[in-house]
Amino acid sequence: MARPGDPSAKSRLLKAAEAVFIERGLDRAKVDDIAQAAGLSKGSFYLHFKSKDEAFKEILGGVLGVLGENLGQIEASREEWAGRTFEQLVEYWFEQDLKIFEYIWERRALMRLVLEGGGSPDYQHLMNLFAQRAEDTVAGFIRYGMERGYYRSDIDPVHAATFVAGGYDRVARRLVREPVRPDIRLWIAEAQSLCLRGLGTQAFVTSATNFYMKVLSDALGRKSTA
């Protein structure tokens, strides 16, 4: 009778592969290293993956999938925005951005490898698809804000979205290089404040400023008690 396969083998291999990729980089990582770290044979690895690049692509796909789900949740909540005050909207968007950047920090070693390393066009294609989706999502938010009077009517939503998404990309790249956890709440407040000051109507900017001043005050309070 054939021996049943190990149902946890693939997850063990993916966990081991991520650790090996982070430690050694994509170029120097070997299938033997991954299998050994997982406590499995090289043959077991090839039962689940054709190559180490395929394993990396699946790991990256999982991370981008979580970030994509976050974007989807924000998009799905749009119908609820009309019933919120300006400050409630700013607070909601802040908490959603914070969730995304907390996850990026949690997976920072892998994200740093992806954002700063070379490698396969397969996973670069995934990164490009996610970046385009993020930019399209931002453009949709800006159009909605223009229709509702949150944002100025004299801006091009596509150009503005490119600028905003590019800025967030640079914040993410900086975050994954930090040796010690920064005050992510303060980082997000500063980034959003800069964006909204350029995009928002005066009434919306005033409401946003009130919220961000609270975040700044909280950050200063945390520093004084540290």
Contacts 24+ apart (CB under 8 A), 52-56: 52/17, 52/26, 53/26, 53/119, 53/120, 53/122, 53/123, 55/13, 55/14, 55/17, 56/17, 56/21, 56/26, 56/119, 56/120, 56/123
Question: Are the CB atoms for 93 and 70 separated by under 8 Å?
Answer: no
Question: Is there a domain that residue 80 lies in?
Answer: yes
In a domain, 1, yes or no: no
Residue at 100 is within a domain:
yes
Do 14 and 103 sit in the same domain of this protein? no
- 70-104 tens-digit pLDDT: 999 988 888 888 888 888 989 999 999 999 999 99
Q: Which two tokens stand for residue 28?
A: 């120097």
Does the predicted model carry a pTM greater than 0.85?
Answer: yes
Q: What is the pLDDT of residue 127?
A: 80
* pLDDT, tens digit (0-9, with 9 covering 90-100), for 179-201: 999 999 999 999 999 999 999 99
Q: In this structure, is residue 2 part of a structural domain?
A: no
| Residue 78: count of CB within 10 angstroms of its CB | 11
- pLDDT score, position 11: 94
- Token code pair at residue 152: 């100025």
> Is 200 inside a domain boundary?
yes
Q: Say how many domains are in the chain.
A: 2
pLDDT at residue 1, as a whole number: 29
- Asked if 130 and 87 sit in the same domain, the reply is yes
* 17, 82: one domain: no
The CATH number assigned to the domain holding 139 equals: 1.10.357.10
User: Which residue's entry shows tokens 């050994």?
Assistant: 36
Asked whether residue 95 falls in the same domain as residue 179, the answer is: yes
Residues 16 and 72 reside in one and the same domain: no
What pLDDT was estimated at residue 215? 87
Tokens of 194: 């800069």
Q: How many CA atoms lie within 13 A of 31 on its CB side?
A: 15
Residues 6+ apart with CB under 8 A from 39: 12
Residue 57 lies in a domain: yes
* Residue 176 in domain: yes
Q: Domain containing 32 — which CATH number? A: 1.10.10.60
- Gap between the Cα atoms of 85 and 37, Å rounded: 52
Same domain, 64 and 83: yes
Measured CA to CA, the distance from residue 51 to residue 42 in angstroms comes to 11
Q: Are 44 and 132 in a shared domain?
A: no
Which parts of the chain have pLDDT scores under 50? 1-4
Do residues 84 and 96 both lie within one domain? yes
| Whether residues 61 and 159 fall in one domain | yes
Are 97 and 11 contained in the same domain? no
Query: Which two three-digit tokens encode residue 148?
Result: 């509702």
Instruction: Tell me which H or E stretch contains 17.
Output: helix 9-28
Q: Which domain holds residue 59?
A: 53-225
